[in-house]
Amino acid sequence: MTRLGRPSENQLVTDCRVTFRLPLDWSVSMQKHIHIISRDKAKNLGMTAYFTGIPCKRGHIAERSTSNASCRGCRKLEYVKNTDKEKLRSKQWREKNKDRVIKVEKAYRTDNPNRSRLSKSVWYLKNKESQREKKIIWMKKNPDKVRAQNSKRRALFRNAEGHHTDLDIKKKLSLQNNFCNYCKKDLDVTGYHVDHIIPLSKGGTNWPINLQCLCPPCNQKKGNKLPSEWEELINKGVINV
Ligand SMILES: [Zn+2]
Ligand SMILES: [Zn+2]
């Protein structure tokens, strides 16, 4: 479908969101996080990109490179068009500049612990099936390591502070009216897992206050994420419950 005339600002925002697979609240979070700054100012501050909020000639409301004022939206479109060529080019560049890549990535992880944890989770969810298959093969090949991991997990459970009884779990279930705390499915139907709200591996306890009953899929998705990490993934639409 071709659109005649100049698209509305809302349409532009939607187009950019769809093209670049951004979350629904993208334009809001963009306004919150990206500050309007002129190219000269950005240059003086040593920034590699600047943002004016003015659409480029193709209509992207996107950052631009300080060095040549090129629109990063256009650049991304070019990339999408020539994906294979670009991927090869970037792979070759990364191989040539291995040390630099490692250093930059490490610095990024240190500066943005939450974002890098988030992108790791996103990556995992996208590659869940293949990772699971790989893990099964790895487990078959390394029974000793699997045993060691299991005993470590049991020790974690044993050594964590606090304890609870079957009655505590029954009380939890009735407090939750027998619904999964996240997706609200009927636990009588789905069965339930007892989840440590703050994972044991992150310092949580075995006291009843740190427990909740979840349906098995929700429990698996939560894994050993902190409640804040879990909420972030839901808010960004990475995980659906
Ligand atoms: Zn553009
Ligand atoms: Zn659930």
The band of 3, judged by pLDDT with boundaries at 50, 70 and 90, is very low
Give the pLDDT of residue 33. Answer: 52
Mean pLDDT of 156-164: 84
- Quote the ligand 2 centre to 172 CA distance (angstroms): 15
The answer to whether 104 and 110 are in contact (CB under 8 A) is no
Kindly write down the DSSP assignment for every residue of 75-124, as one continuous string: HHHHHHHTHHHHHHHHHHHHHHTHHHHHHHHHHHHHH-HHHHHHHHHHHH
Per-residue pLDDT tens digits for 113-158: 878 888 888 888 888 889 999 999 999 999 888 888 887 888 787 8
Give me ligand 2 centre to Cα 30, in Å: 31
Helix, coil or strand: residue 148: helix
pLDDT tier at 219 (50, 70, 90 boundaries)? very high
Percentage of the chain lying above the pLDDT 90 cut: 34
Residues with CB under 5 A from ligand 2 (ion): 180, 182-183, 215, 218
Residue 88 CA to residue 110 CA, distance in Å, equals 28
Contact 181, 212 (CB under 8 A): yes
pLDDT at position 190: 93
pLDDT in tens, 175-199: 999 999 999 999 999 999 999 999 9
Nearest ligand, CA 183: 2
| Band of pLDDT at residue 34, cut at 50, 70 and 90 | low
- Residue range(s) of every CATH 1.10.30.50 domain in the chain: 160-235
Q: How far, CA to CA in Å, does 49 sit from each of 41, 85, 86, 152?
A: 11, 24, 21, 47
Q: 160-235: which CATH topology?
A: DNA Binding (I), subunit A (1.10.30)
Cα separation, 140 vs 11, in Å, equals 52
Residues whose CB is less than 8 angstroms from the CB of residue 202 and which lie 6 or more positions away in sequence, other chains included: 224, 226
Q: What is the percentage of the chain residues whose pLDDT exceeds 70?
A: 86
| The two three-digit tokens of residue 6, written as one number | 């100049």
| DSSP string computed for 189-221 | HH--EEEESS-GGGT--SSGGGEEEE-HHHHHH
Q: Residue 12's pLDDT is what?
A: 59
- State in Å: Cα 197 to ligand 2 middle: 14
Mean pLDDT of 150-169: 84
